[in-house]
């Protein structure tokens, strides 16, 4: 076994992969929420559809997309492997462990929160991403160029109350997942300095409220403005 595989299989190595993939996904979410704000532009979806075409056809963005898929899969696989490894290393729980007094609820339930987000992601990707890439799509023409009308698909989808509820609930869980994950990733990377840790914690707390709230506002806005 080389030092690389040895490191990757150690607890620290597994945590490192969780931190790096998690931070990459935080960057992805920042870009994704910013681009999706075009849904609010009020131009009938032109800017959003043009943006969606760019995001699915530009070669550099495609490379970033592949990195996103690898990060999602890596984050899931390594979270399972880390929790199995921790269980096998400590088959009997600490008798003195009183979770609520030692750590925040979100930090003790990262696996449950992650599983709920995974279920959300399956529904989400099947509804929009798979349709955009392989499904039957309505089209629209701007300045003589044909675009897939993803704006129409998103608007039709969010007319369904159950889907809006699923998105809003999932964003609450995403917020809790991020609230622990953000600071924890920096800690794993050894970036916890007396001077900077409070700032990282504060940015993490603000991020885990702002980004899920913006995501949740999209289905809510579309649903209630369609009446």
Residue numbers 163-202 binding ligand HEM by CB under 6 A? 167, 174
Binder of ligand HEM out of 7, 15, 82, 129 (CB under 6 A)? 129
Which CB atom, from 42 or from 190, has the smaller least distance to ligand HEM?
A: 42
Shortest Å, Cβ 198 to ligand HEM: 27
Tell me: does residue 221 bind ligand HEM (CB under 6 A): no
Q: Footprint of ligand HEM on residues 90-119 (CB under 6 A)?
A: 117
Considering only residues 7, 46, 65, 155, which one is a binding residue for ligand HEM as defined by CB under 6 A? 65
DSSP the chain: --HHHHHHHSHHHHHHHHHHHHHHHHHHHHHHHHHHGGGGS-STTHHHHHHHHHHHH-HHHHHHHHHHHHHHHHHHHHHHHHHHHHHHH--S--TT--HHHHS-HHHHTHHHHHHHHHHHHHHHIIIIIHHHHHS---EEEETTEEEE-HHHHHHHHTTSHHHHHHHHHHHHHHHHHHHHHHHHHHHHTT---TTTHHHHHHHHHHHHHHHHHHHHHHHHHHHHHT-
Residue number, 137 or 200, with CB nearest to ligand HEM: 137
Residues contributing to the site for ligand HEM (CB under 6 A): 32, 36, 52, 55-56, 65, 68, 117, 121, 124-125, 128-129, 132, 150, 154, 167, 174, 215, 218-219
């Amino acid at each position: 076994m080389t030092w690389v595989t040895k490191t990757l299989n150690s607890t620290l190595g597994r945590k490192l992969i969780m931190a790096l993939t998690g931070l990459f996904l935080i960057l992805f979410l920042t870009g994704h929420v910013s681009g999706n704000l075009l849904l609010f532009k009020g131009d009938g979806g032109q800017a959003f559809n043009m943006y969606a075409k760019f995001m699915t056809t530009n070669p550099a963005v495609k490379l970033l997309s592949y990195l996103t898929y690898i990060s999602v899969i890596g984050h899931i696989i390594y979270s399972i492997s880390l929790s199995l490894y921790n269980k096998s290393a400590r088959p009997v729980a600490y008798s003195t462990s009183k979770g609520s007094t030692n750590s925040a609820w979100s930090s003790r339930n990262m696996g449950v929160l992650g599983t709920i987000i995974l279920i959300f992601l399956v529904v989400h990707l099947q509804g929009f991403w798979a349709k955009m890439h392989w499904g039957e799509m309505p089209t629209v023409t701007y300045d003589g160029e044909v675009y897939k009308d993803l704006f129409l698909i998103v608007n039709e989808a969010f007319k369904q109350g159950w889907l809006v509820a699923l998105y809003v609930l999932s964003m609450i869980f995403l917020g809790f997942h991020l609230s622990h994950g953000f600071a924890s990733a920096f800690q794993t990377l050894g970036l916890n300095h007396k001077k900077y840790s409070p700032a990282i914690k504060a940015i993490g707390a603000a991020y885990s409220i702002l980004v899920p709230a913006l995501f949740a506002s999209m289905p809510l806005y579309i649903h209630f403005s369609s009446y």
